[in-house]
Chains A and B, each alone.
Chain A
Amino acid sequence: MKRKLLALGFAVIATLFMLYQNGVFAQQSGGAAPAAPAASEQPAPPPPPNEPPPIPPQAETTPPPPPPAVAAAPTIQIDKTALDNGGVITVTGTAPPGKPVFIEVWAEKTVRASRFDSEKDPETGKIPYLLYMTHDMPASYVIYVPQDQKEKLESIKKEGGKWSYSKALKDLGADVAYSAPSKVPIDRYQATLLGSVIGSRGDLLPAMDDKENKKRSMQLVKARFRSPGKVFAPTVEVKPDGTYTAKVTIAKGAAPGKYSIVAATDKNAKSPALSVENNVGFPMIYLHNAGTSINVIGPFLLTLAISIFGVLMGAGGGFILNPLLVSIWPLPHTIVAGTVMPTVLFSQGSGIYNYSKIKFINWKLGVTIGLAMVVGGFIGPKLTELITLSQYKFVFGWILLILAALMFWQTTPAYLEKNKKEQAILKEFKKRAEESAAKKGA
């Protein structure tokens, strides 16, 4: 009874916290307000240097070039400025005739992106072991390219996991539009493979110059968004007279907040940035670390079902839950591994408490092996960071096959026969233990 009340209390607190996180309470929206302008300062500065300012000075010094310079910058209009959990925005405008138009769209909400560079340098033959990390990667970043680039994009998609974002930008001509992530602050750490596994990030190296930062930011874009389909969309329709229309899709489950939209035909010919507000409300909740919004109900029901099944089959639910979570929702595997693990802390803790009450734990044995496991638990999470989602899924596949074999073995007649005896002894011991614990209590 006491435990049920405790769990109910937990559930209530949890729900309240979720509502609080979601900005249902008034104070929260007030608290979020100062944060929003602070964050919007970042996307704001880049556009000005690109557009109006450079043109007037030019106009003063050399009169002939200004007309083409002004004409070169495409105009931009959007049909709506607010969305409710994603939607499609129609972007229209006029660009100089015959020029391809690229539309850059990025979210103001930021996420973390990291990449561990352990590829052999083709020139020096040395492995750099550098960790690149930023906390300011836009939670969503897409460059919309002209429709006639569709085939090129398809061929990039066929390259599989080895595709290069910077090469794709060049091939599609979209490098002229690439700007928002290029100036994010990137920390660079010199690590060693061993040091990295032990968990040291290594020494922080001095900041990179703009060019290097831009190059590394492209690799981080790939590390974060992984597939070409996530960062490119061939939907810009350019007419011979220079007018263009494009459907910009903010996906369901995308981060809430402001999205900036800029049209570009050249590095120096960019439209002013327009913004769209994406509103996400309950039951959709934005996961700050994962960078996506998900419907609360789906993962809740899945976790409920899997944890029941997990108890029935005698294995923790994590085995089935983790691969399903990364397969069904766009969640990073690091977040899934790091968030599912703590959910069992409570049940394990209460299990240990119950067993220890009836003296059913051998502390010497448990602590000895436990110490070896602490070391393993120290290394494991670091390895999660170093692998990609597809590697995560692949290795998990093999782990599940081993687990399936173990469980199959546990249903064989020989095992069942042995287990029956074991269980009988277990019951007998437990009974004795409980009796003696009760006696002591009395």
Chain B
Amino acid sequence: MIVEFWGQEFKINVFVGCIGGFLIAVISSMFGFGGGPFMVPLMTVGLGLPMYLVVGSSLLAIFFNTVMGTLRHYQFGNFDPTFFLIMFPAAIIGGFIAPQIAKRVSPIVVKRVAVAGLVILAMNLLGFIS
């Protein structure tokens, strides 16, 4: 498939994109997170697209998954409105506070802290540490 973006043309393997997107969608809707961190590498590394094309388009692709996943979870009675209303305002407020903090911290430091945190959490979930 040929993708045109701001006067430039990119040739991509649409099968890789669709199969990868499908798998990411299954996992992310199954566990209830957005698939952004997996989607961006898929499109940059897997499809060889530049970052400036990926940022917006990956968000659009993920949005499809989030809408469908939300509807399905709702259908199965897994959506708790009260719980949602506890978390939703917090997520919105967090979205406003975060950019203020982002100006003051180095993204690399944040990422390294995140890596350490994720490994600890993963070890806990896998039962290696309690």
A-B pairs with the 9 shortest C-beta distances?
A376-B25, A338-B78, A318-B33, A337-B32, A380-B29, A307-B94, A366-B60, A338-B73, A377-B68
Check A342 against B79 for contact (C-beta < 8 Å).
Answer: yes
Check A344 against B125 for contact (C-beta < 8 Å).
Answer: no
Check B78 against A339 for contact (C-beta < 8 Å).
Answer: yes
When C-beta atoms are compared, the residue in chain B nearest to A421 turns out to be B51
Segment from A25-33, A76-84, A147-155, A281-289 that makes contact with B: A281-289
**Chain A residues within an 8 Å CB radius of B121:** 320, 323-324, 397, 400
**Chain A residues within an 8 Å CB radius of B95:** 307, 311, 347
Check A17 against B85 for contact (C-beta < 8 Å).
Answer: yes
Cα separation A374 to B58 with both chains bound (whole Å): 13
Cα separation A240 to B39 with both chains bound (whole Å): 68
**Chain B contact residues: helix, strand, loop or mixed:** helix
Check A347 against B91 for contact (C-beta < 8 Å).
Answer: yes
* Chain B 22-48 interface mask (CB, 8 Å, partner A; 1/0): 111111111111111110010100000
Q: Could you say which of A303, A308, A336, A400 contacts B32, with CB atoms under 8 Å apart? A: A336
A279 within 8 Å of B (CB atoms) = no
Check A394 against B118 for contact (C-beta < 8 Å).
Answer: no
Q: Could you say which of B6, B23, B56, B123 contacts A355, with CB atoms under 8 Å apart? A: B56
Binding site for A on B (CB under 8 A): 1, 3-6, 12, 14, 17-19, 21-38, 41, 43, 49-53, 55-70, 72-99, 101-102, 105, 107-108, 110-115, 117-119, 121-127
A411 within 8 Å of B (CB atoms) = yes
Check B115 against A407 for contact (C-beta < 8 Å).
Answer: yes
Cα separation A119 to B128 with both chains bound (whole Å): 29
Cα separation A367 to B61 with both chains bound (whole Å): 6
**Chain B residues within an 8 Å CB radius of A339:** 32, 73, 78-80, 83-84, 87
A202 within 8 Å of B (CB atoms) = no
Check B64 against A371 for contact (C-beta < 8 Å).
Answer: yes
Which of B19, B22, B107, B114 counts the most chain A CB atoms within 10 A?
A: B114
